[in-house]
Amino acid sequence: MAYRWLHKQILMNHFEPGQALVTRALAAELHISTTPVRDALKRLESEGLVWVKPRSGCIVAPITFKLLNDILWVREATSPACARLATIRATDEELEQLGAFAEGRYADASNVELVMSASHRFHSEVARLTQNDYFIRITDQTLEEIDRIFSYCGHDPLSPQPPLDDHLKLVEAMKERDAEKAASIATLHLKHTRSVTLDLVMQSGKL
């Protein structure tokens, strides 16, 4: 309970970057003892969402340009590998569902946060199709951080069409069982995503 609640509050920026997290106050708010709160904070620290500062307690991990850049490098390294492996391992039925999933997710997306959320859920599905627990874990963790960054930076209008087009091209390559083509599409998509992401974040003036 404590972990799920804190995790959600941090990702939605209800607890802002750099904000102090006082164990006793959090326990009182949740009407629980301090032990599960401490356990939750340790888990969040291992995920990079919380920093523990000596003699200062816990704070929400700051959002910085370096953090964003580090995450984008990880995404550029892992996303093509996920696409390649998912192409090999996914069933025909799963790939049909992936295409429908992509179109459905983008239906009502009209701003930065919603478009990025739709994109990230698609990439999480691709990672799941790899059947590789490490790919799934690192994909979900990096995408959660990017969601937190965009929740913090704003809600400017953004067209869903470019990422949707890329994702549908990726699904088609996967259906063709062309793993290298799928990886190449994912690479180009991530390069475009890097450019769009950095532009949007810089325009927000928050980093």
* pLDDT score of 102: 86
Mean pLDDT of 17-32: 95
* pLDDT score of 170: 98
The average confidence (pLDDT) of the chain is 91
Domains and CATH numbers, the chain: 2-60 (1.10.10.10), 65-204 (1.20.120.530)
Q: What residues have CB less than 8 Å from 135, skipping those under 6 apart? A: 78, 81, 82, 85, 127
Confidence of residue 17 (pLDDT cuts 50, 70, 90): very high
Residue 113 sits at φ, ψ, to 5 deg, of -65, -45
- How far is 170 from 182, CA to CA, in rounded Å? 5
Assess whether pLDDT exceeds 80 at residue 56. no
* pLDDT score of 199: 87
pLDDT in tens, 114-125: 787 888 999 999
pLDDT in tens, 162-206: 888 999 999 999 999 999 999 999 999 999 989 988 888 888 888
Percent of all residues in the chain with a pLDDT value above 70, rounded to a whole number: 96
Mean pLDDT of 22-29: 95
Mean pLDDT of 60-80: 95
* pLDDT score of 157: 67
pLDDT in tens, 92-133: 999 999 999 888 877 777 677 778 788 899 999 999 999 999
Q: How many CB atoms lie within 10 A of CB 206?
A: 12
Comparing 35 with 205, which gets the higher pLDDT?
35
* pLDDT score of 133: 98
Confidence of residue 155 (pLDDT cuts 50, 70, 90): low
Confidence of residue 160 (pLDDT cuts 50, 70, 90): confident
Burial class (CB in 10 A: 0-12, 13-18, 19+), 159: exposed
* pLDDT score of 145: 92
User: Which residues, in sequence order, are bridge partners of residue 126?
Assistant: none
